[in-house]
Structures are given as structure tokens and as C-alpha cells.
A and B are shown apart, each in its own frame.
Chain A
Amino acid sequence: MSLLEVNDLTVKFYTEEGVVNAVDNLSFSIDRGEKFGVVGESGAGKSVTALSVMRLIESPGHIESGEVLFNGENLLEMSDEEIRSIRGNEIAMVFQDAQTALNPVYTVGEQISETIRHHLGYDETEAKERSIQLLDTVGIPDAESRFSDYPHEFSGGMQQRAIIAMALSCDPDLLICDEPTTALDVTIETKILQEIETLADEFDTAIQLITHDLGVVADVCDRVMVMYAGKPVEKAPVEELYYDPKHPYTVGLMSSIPRIGDERERLQTIPGTMPDLVDLPSGCSFHPRCPYAEESCTRSEPALVDPETGAVATDDDEHVAACLEYTGELTDGLGYEVTVRDSSDDAEVETVAGAKASSAVDTDVPDAGGDRRD
């Protein structure tokens, strides 16, 4: 049994502008101790997914349907009290913005101790001791005296570490990290990612890492799900996703990031922006931006399938993608090729769009103006 199993989750937000389809019919699972990445740009539904697992969706948001099984029990059916005892205890979360997760009027140490006392029933001295150890573990120098610092006396990187210490304080089974290092400098980012990894290995904690950064995912994760406009478009073990991407959006993402040592004059781009989630494009939501889109893409919505067989994805499939190519509904097929550049000491992947994709390379035109959100 998977540690976490999300089945057919649909989340909507009822806003003045209309109904936002934040997450649409999403399924995935995470095994005990596994590091699972969720990748996508803003508006992809990554954070909403995380919040749903924590059952933190607030009005005007609403979980329409689906189930979130944690150790086999449906979190969506639990009482408020039950869910509270799971949150922080068995599932912990680290957000991008550490500042908002720490209360400015209590010392960092008090906040961690309080969490420990609350969840583990330690007395005050024990909790303090444990907090100092944790702060030390996550690499806060001088943990003993830093214990009584207020959040504003911590740098951004230290605040984020404190949050991680707090999240780990109760030895959770699942740690959800939502862009945990996005606001940080790269030198600190590396350290924090490494700490998350080491600690997760040490405590056999599963990680759900939400990020827009493909470098971070490659560094940390075992398996990855790429999301676009509220839907998963590809799921794969990390190496397959990078060396053998199956969905045009994944390919587009990979080739739009600048790489050190890359001689390309121009970056490839995905034209346009994320569609309006109130008014999703028909058929495949990616079709207005997809260089391979055909008539059929505007009509039928591709299901997640095994790209080899075209059969509807099951739990056993390692690599699945949602593109009509794999159900034989495209006439011209997909025109990209992936070349793996093998420089002396490390392999680099370069995703080259094939002839047919040339339109994508040059189509640096923003959308016609239909979209109004990020």
C-alpha cells in the first residue's frame, strides 16, 4: 500500500470571474520514503494539490470529488480533530515563504518547542533540548543561543531551516515542500536541499517536492509528475522524464531553461502563457501553445496513457503521458528529438525541436490577449 494515494481529485474555486478549475481529476501516489516531485508553472495546480492533501483548501475553494488516502485512510472524510492530529504529526509542510509560517512575536525556539510539546507530549525542558538539537541538525550555527532569537533576527535561509526543523520535529511520514528554496540564494538552496534529502533518508520520510525548477527536481526526486493547467500531463521516474520526455509541454519546459555552457543564441520558448483556468481551451488544454497541435487536439481531451501501448494508465505504469500522439490520434506526430550531450565528465541533455517544431522556436509571440491571469 502506498503511503499517500490521491484518486481522481478535483478542486474548484468559486470566484467572481467564474469557476476556476484548479485541479482536475488528479491521481498520484507516493510510497513510503519516496521523493516525489511535482513540477509546473504558476497556475498548474501544484500548490492546490498540496493544500488538498493537508485539507487546507479554504473558501472559495472546494474539493469537489476524489479521495486522499493516507495509510489507507481517507483524509477527506476525517473529522477536524483527526485531521489536525495528522497535520504536523504525520504530514508536515514547508512553504516557500518562511516568514509567514513563523509567528513574529514568539521566538523561533518557543515555536519549535511548542510544536514538539503539542505533538509528542514532551515537557518543557525536554522540548527545548530537542529543539536545540533540531536547529543544530538543520545547520543553524550557534543553535543554543539562537533558540531565543525572534524570527526577524534570522536570515531568510535560517528561517527556512527553522521551518524545516519544525516540520521534522515530529518525525512525519510525509513532508510536503512547496517551493522550499525558491526565495533563497543558490548557495543556501543547495545546502537546504541536501539537508532535506539527508534528513528524509535518515528518518525514512517521504517527500512531496513542489517546484518550478527542473534542476531542483533532478537533484532530489525519484519520480516526477508534470502538471499543466490543473492536470497531470506526464508522470515518470526522474531519469526517464529528463532523457525521454513524452509530453510536448515537458519538452518545452526543458528546452526553455538557459544552461551553463550552452551555446544557443536564442532560448526555445513555449509561446503564450498558462490559459485562464476559468475558461480552459477545449480538447487538450495545451493546444494553443503546443507546436504539434492539430485539429484533433482542439476536440478530444487526451487521457493519461502508457506511451508505448496507448493503453489507459494504471497504477503499475511507470511512465505515462497525456497526448493524443500515443493514442494514434495525431496525423503528423511529434517532431522533437532529444539528444544527450556527453561532455567529458557529465551528461547533459539537450532537447532539440525537430523540423516540425520550428514554428515553436520562432513563435515568440505572446497570446492574443485572451488570458488575464498568471
Chain B
Amino acid sequence: MPEVIVVTDETPLLRAENLTKYYDSSGGFLDSLLGNSQDVKAVDGVDLELYEGETLGVVGESGCGKSTLARALLRLVEPTDGSVYFQQRVEEDGEPAGRREVDLTTVSSDDLRDLRTDLQYIFQDPFSSLNPRLTVGDIIGEPLDIHDIATGDERTERIYELLETVGLNPSHTHRYPHEFSGGQRQRIGIARALAVDPEVIVCDEPVSALDVSVQAQILNLLEDLQDELGLSYIFIAHDLSVVEHISDRIAVMYLGEFAEVGSTDEVFSPPYHPYTEALLSAIPEPDPLWEGDQIFLPGTVPSPLDPPSGCRFHTRCPQIIQPAAYDLEQDVWRSVVDLKLRVKDAETLESIATVPDETPADDATSRTSIRELPSAQFESVIRSEYDLPTELSDSSAERALSQAIDELYEDNVTGATARLDDAFTSPCEKHHPEPAQTGTNHRIACLLQDERYDGDRFEAVDADSGSGSDNAVADD
């Protein structure tokens, strides 16, 4: 057992360090025998702190790993790496006697079971997480039984009390989950979590399955309970406006990593992480006259099996940094990178661009493959597919681009790939951004906030890594 240490106010109640969860995606024994096993990097080196009485919101799109993170934090799934430190209450002779730090990832399963009285979980789908064959009283009573908290009349009393706390009628203890509406079932889930008098509750999308009016009821209930019982929440959700409403601090997650962490105000005002900025701009405002500048992200979240190099957001980031050698319009630069990434992944020419409807065909049969187009048209189809101007403003960039298109025309995809890679490599593809402190509690993991970025270009310290752009267009 770790020794008892004195805990000050600044010590987070729960702290994760380098928390990592990989899933093995291989098909099974044979795959692993052949060395085919591949890891899904669901959560990859996350650091987080949860302070007493606060709500830390975690947002991200589906597939960003937020639910896995929630589970790994409480060791509902076994983390692959990292630690989760919790300041556990200790009692001596029934009296509170400070706290001691335990690492949830290393405690024995017996200890972990005991710790469940401090750390609870509320699931997204209140229906499937409630045993349909148990009455509400038994669902709520179960944790009381498991941890020997109360029996007999005391148990009944406690169940009534809990039902009342979450706004349900105590006379409903003998009903079954299906007799309740979605919002009421979520209240039952909350009552079950509260039964053991926990300190931390991880709420995994607790309102996303509910109607808006009911959602508001549950959000208010969670806030009231927090005030009343001093609970700390980790609140996982995909809906930014819900997270903003309930959280004191917010972590924005992308492909298994935190892109940004900060107080709610900090995250919702500049400087932004480019991903957060895009997410924010995408929320449809309930106001018909609202004309937001929506930022469109190209593509979808890449596979966590093989996340992009450098900054994982670089395949979609509107602000991806240019090589020092160029000064292109930012959206043109983004388009160049889009073309480059597509060519890299392309198996055939056809997958790089399709012949648009209106392309004039000079013979009767319409062309279905760009391969059949004459060279000038081929080039213009490619450029228009990627919103590229007929000529890039930078002559060396233009030279590399048009040579690459020529190579594509000659069906030399490999050559084009190499040329594009040589000429157009962003620092964002090479350097993994470390979280940079941008405010008292605000950390952004983006090279734009890195001290090596001077507001215009990114200077890598080691000479080697910046090479992509420098010698790019010199070769022929």
C-alpha cells in the first residue's frame, strides 16, 4: 500500500499520465503468428487532471477515442500504458484521515473493487445499461449490496432517498426499467451511480440519447447534484454546446490525443486549436439569420490503425503550415496538400479525379476515365478537382506541381508521389506538436503555438527534418 501523503488543494483528485489504450485489430491467432497484428491507437498518451468539484468536458467526433478514454480512466478496459492516480479518502477508526494516492492501473482487483465506491460511471444508453429483469429498487440497491453499504430497512430507506434525490417518485421502486421514459431511465442510472456516495463520476454521453427538453432536465440535475454533493465529473460528449454549458474545463480530443485543454472560456476564445475552431464553426446555430463562417474540414477522421504522421490533424487542418520556401494562399496550399495526400494513397489514376459531367467530349462516346483525356484537359480536370488555380503564385511550387501532373498524365503515380512529397512537405507532417502553454490553464497541441513557429514559418532546430521543402524543386 502506498503511504499516506498530505494532499493540498492543488493536487488533482484524479490525474492521468500518458494514458494509452491500444486494441489489437488482428484477425486472431493466425494473424498474430504471421505478424499481421496491428494496433488501433484508441487512446494515445493522454495526460489529464480532474480537480475536486469541477467538471472536465471531453469532446470529439466519433472515433476520437473519448469513450475508450472514459473507460480506461476507471479501468473498465485495461490500459496499455500510463497511470491514473487517484487521491483516495482514508479513514481511521471511522474518521476521515486525509487521502493517499493510488495508481488505478496497478491496484489489485480487490482494491479496484473497493475504489468503485469512489469512482462511478454513467452510460450513454440508460436502457441497455439497466438490467431489464431487475426492479428499479434492486438496480439501485445492487451497489449497496456489493459494497455491503446497507441492508434491510436501511437499504430500503437509502433507495427511497436516492430516488428522491434524482427526482423520481420513491413509490416506483418496484417498477421495471421499461416502464420508464428515456429521461427517467437516465435518472435511474444516476441514482445507481450515487448509491455508493462517489467522489468522481465519469458521464459517458449521458444526454445524447434524450430529447432536448429532457436533456435540459438531466443537465440541470447533474449540476444540482454536483453543488450538493461536491462531485467531480468527467463529462464525455460530442455536442460542444452541451459540453460548454456544463464544463469548467474542456479537453478537445482528436484521434486518441488531446488537441487542446483549457478552461471553457479559453477553449471557446482565441487562440484556438484549428480543430476546435472548425468544430465550433460547424455547430448549426438555432438562429435563422445567423451567418457563421463555417469551416469545412476535408475528409473524415483517419483510421486510428495508422494515424497520420506528425500532427494527426494535418490531413484535414485548414491551417496546415507551409514549407518555409513558399508563400501560397492558405487555401491553395491546403489544396496542394490534399492532392498530394490523395496521390500518395491512390492505387489508380481514376481514384485521383473523375471526369466531371460537363467536360466536353470531342467524340460521341463520353469519357469515363481521366486517362483518356488529352493532356491539357487532364491537367485542368485535376486542378479543378482540387480547386487549384491554373497557376500557383510561387514559381518553384508551380514547377513542381505541373511536373507532378505531367507524371500523372504519363501514369507515373510513383514518380508524382515522390515529387509532391519532395516539394510539398509541411512541418506539420514531420513534427508531433507538444502541448504548448497558451494561458494559465490552457494547453494547445499545435505547431502554430510552438516557439519554433515565428508567425510565418516554422524553423526546425535539427537541420535534417526541414529538408523536404528546401531541396525540393532543385532537382530538374
State the A residues within 8 Å of B (CB).
Answer: 41-42, 129, 132-133, 136, 141-145, 155-158, 185-191, 193-194, 212-219, 238-239, 242, 252-254, 256-262, 264-271, 273-274, 346-349, 364-366, 368-369, 371-374
Q: Which residues of A contact B214 (CB under 8 A)?
A: 41, 273
A199 to chain B minimum Cβ distance, whole angstroms, is: 13
Kindly list chain A residues whose C-beta atoms are within 8 Å of the C-beta of B184: 273, 366
Contact B241 A185 (CB under 8 A): no
A-B contact pairs, 20 of them (CB 8 A): A41-B212, A144-B354, A186-B279, A186-B282, A187-B279, A187-B282, A215-B283, A218-B285, A219-B284, A242-B287, A261-B268, A267-B219, A269-B213, A270-B213, A346-B290, A348-B290, A364-B167, A368-B169, A369-B169, A369-B172
Within 8 Å of chain A (Cβ to Cβ): is B89? no
Contacting residues, chain B, for A217 (C-beta < 8 A): 286
* Interface segment, one of B10-18, B24-32, B344-352: B344-352
Contact indicator per residue, chain B 333-355, by CB within 8 Å of chain A (1) or not (0): 00000000010001110111010
CB pair A186 B240 closer than 8 Å? yes
| Residues in chain B near residue A213, CB distance under 8 A | 284
Q: Tell me if B242 counts as interface (CB < 8 A to partner A).
A: yes
Assembly CA distance A215 to B296 (angstroms): 17
Let me know if A254 and B238 touch, CB within 8 A: no
SS of B interface (majority)? loop
Question: From residue B308, how far is it (CB to closest CB) to chain A in Å?
Answer: 16
> Once the chains are docked, how many angstroms separate the CA of A157 from the CA of B298?
13
* A142 nearest CB neighbor, chain B only: B351
How many Å lie between the Cα of A224 and that of B187 in the bound state? 32
B463 at interface, CB cutoff 8 A: no
> Interface size of B by Cβ–Cβ distance < 8 Å?
68
Query: Could you say which residues of chain A place their CB within 8 Å of the CB of B217?
Result: 269, 271, 364, 366
Within the complex, the shortest CB–CB distance from A306 to chain B, in Å, comes to: 21
> Cβ of A364 and Cβ of B286 under 8 Å apart?
no
Q: Confirm or deny: B2 has a beta carbon within 8 angstroms of a beta carbon on chain A.
A: no
Q: Which B residues lie within 8 Å of A368 (CB)?
A: 169
CA distance A41 to B350 in the complex (A): 45
Residues in chain A near residue B368, CB distance under 8 A: 129, 132
Contact partners of A136 in chain B: CB under 8 A:
354, 356
Cβ–Cβ < 8 Å partners of A212 in chain B: 211-212
Question: B216's contact among A185, A256, A274, by CB below 8 Å, is which?
Answer: A256
Evaluate contact between B297 and A187: CB separation under 8 angstroms: yes
Q: What's the Cα separation between A193 and B296 when bound, in Å? A: 12
Q: A185 CA to B171 CA in the complex, in Å?
A: 40
Give Cα A247–Cα B155 distance, bound, in whole angstroms: 45
CB-based nearest B residue for A261? B268
Most chain B CB within a 10 A radius of its CB, from A242, A257, A265? A257
Contact with A along B290-320 (1 / 0, CB 8 A): 1110101101110000000000000000000
Central interface residue in B180, B187, B224, B238, by most chain A CB within 10 Å: B180
Q: Which residue of A lies closest to B357 (CB)?
A: A133
B28 to chain A, nearest CB (A): 19
* Interface assignment of B278: CB less than 8 Å from any CB of chain A: yes
Q: Does B182 contact A (CB under 8 A)?
A: yes
Q: Which residues of the partner chain B approach A218 to less than 8 Å between Cβ atoms?
A: 284-288, 290
Bound: A142/B219 CA distance, A:
42
Q: Once bound together, how far apart are the Cα atoms of A252 and B214, in whole Å?
A: 11
Contact A187 B241 (CB under 8 A): no
- B165-189 interface (Cβ within 8 A of A): 167-169, 171-172, 179-184, 187
B234-262 interface code vs A (CB 8 A; 1 in, 0 out): 00001111101110000000000000000
Chain A residues contacting B213 (CB-CB under 8 Å) are 41, 252-253, 256, 269-270, 273
Tell me the bound Cα distance from A133 to B179 in angstroms.
49
Across the interface, do B282 and A189 meet the contact criterion of CB distance under 8 Å?
Answer: yes
Closest A residue by C-beta to B223: A266
A366: which of B183, B211, B215, B280 is its contact (CB, 8 Å)?
B183
From A237, which residue of chain B is reached at the shortest CB distance?
A: B288
CB-based contact A257/B216 at 8 Å = yes
Q: Judging by beta carbons under 8 Å apart, are B284 and A258 in contact?
A: no
Q: In the docked arrangement, what's the CA distance between A158 and B211, Å? A: 26
Asked if B221 is at the interface (CB within 8 A of a chain A CB), the reply is: yes
